[in-house]
Amino acid sequence: MLTLSDLVVSFGGNKVLNGISCTINEGETVGIIGPNGCGKTTLFNCISGLVANTSGTIALRGVEIQALEPHERARRGLGRVFQNFGIFREMTLLENVLLALESNTSVISGFLPWSKKTKGLSNEALSYLEQVGLAAKANEKAASLSGGQMRLLEIIRTLALGSDMFLLDEPTAGVSPRMKEDVASLIKKLQGLKKTVLIIEHDITFIQKFCSRVIVLNEGVIVLDDTPEKVRADSRLKEIYFGSDAA
C-alpha cells in the first residue's frame, strides 16, 4: 500500500527524518511511537505532502507520490486527520460530513435530480454520524462538541471523503477515558472496512488493542518495527525513553 524508501527530511541542515524505510500493507493498522520531537508528526506531514522530503521516495500502491501536492495525494486516498483543525467549527455536524461527501468523487449521485441528490446525501451523512453516536447532534455547530467528539467527527469526515489510508496523529490526546474507548471502537470499525491506518500514540497499552505492529521512532530513524509484545519486551524501548541506565 505505502512504501517509504530512505526518506530524509531536513530543516536547515537538521535531519529530522534520517533515512526512513518501511512498507505498510493494505488493511494493516500500525502504531507509531517515540519520544517527543523524534519526528512522528514530520513523518505524517511528509507522507501527506505538507512537508517536502529532502531525499528518498514515497510510493502509494506502487506509484511515487513525493512530488504531488497534498490535495493530489488526498485524491489518491490518503486521509490526514488534522488535530483540532480538520473540521469546520462554525458549520453543523451534518454540513461537515456533507461537505466531505460532496468532495468524494466516488459517491455516485451525478445523474439524480438536485433535490433527490441532496436528500440522498443528507441521509448518507446522517448514517456516518450515527456510526459514531453523533446523529442527535447533526444540526448543532461542530464548535459545541467535546474534544473527543470532535476527534470522532474528524475521523468520520475523512471516511466520508473516501480515504482508504488514515494518518491519525494522537487521536486521543486530551480525550476523556470514556471517549478514548469510542475512538478505539471507531478505529476497529475502520479495520472492519479494510482501511489502512497509521496511528501516532504515546500509550502503547492503548494501541495494543488494535495494532498488530508497532514502529518505534527515535531521532528520525526506525529503531524497532515489530509486534507490540516484542516491542514492549525490547530493552531498546526503555533505553530510548529513560536512557541506557534503565535498560
Q: How far is the CB of 21 from ligand ATP (least distance, A)?
A: 18
By CB under 6 A, tell whether 36 contacts ligand ATP: yes
Q: How far is the CB of 93 from ligand ATP (least distance, A)?
A: 28
Indicate which of ligand ATP, Mg ion, none lies near residue 36 (CB less than 5 to 8 Å, by partner kind).
Answer: ligand ATP
User: Which cell is 129 given?
Assistant: 454520524
H or E element, residue 33: strand 29-33
Q: Is 216 left (phi over 0), alpha (psi -120 to 50) or beta?
A: beta
Cα–Cα distance measured from residue 150 to residue 130, given in angstroms and rounded to the nearest whole number: 14
Cα–Cα distance measured from residue 131 to residue 206, given in angstroms and rounded to the nearest whole number: 21
Q: Which stretch binds ligand ATP (CB under 6 A): 32-40, 60-68, 79-87, 111-119?
A: 32-40
Q: Which residue, 29 or 218, has its beta carbon nearer to ligand ATP?
A: 218
Q: Which listed residue (4, 16, 65, 224) binds ligand ATP by CB under 6 A? A: 16
Q: How far is the CB of 42 from Mg ion (least distance, A)?
A: 8
Q: Is 77 left (phi over 0), alpha (psi -120 to 50) or beta?
A: left
Taking alpha carbons only, the member of 135, 113, 116, 112 closest to residue 125 is 135
By CB under 6 A, tell whether 40 contacts ligand ATP: yes
Q: How far is the CB of 222 from Mg ion (least distance, A)?
A: 16
Residues 27-46 that bind Mg ion (CB under 5 A): 40-41
Q: Which stretch binds ligand ATP (CB under 6 A): 39-47, 93-101, 102-110, 122-130?
A: 39-47
Cα–Cα distance measured from residue 155 to residue 161, given in angstroms and rounded to the nearest whole number: 10
Cα–Cα distance measured from residue 161 to residue 199, given in angstroms and rounded to the nearest whole number: 19
Q: How far is the CB of 217 from ligand ATP (least distance, A)?
A: 7
In the complex, the residues that contact ligand ATP under the rule CB under 6 A are 11, 16, 34, 36-42
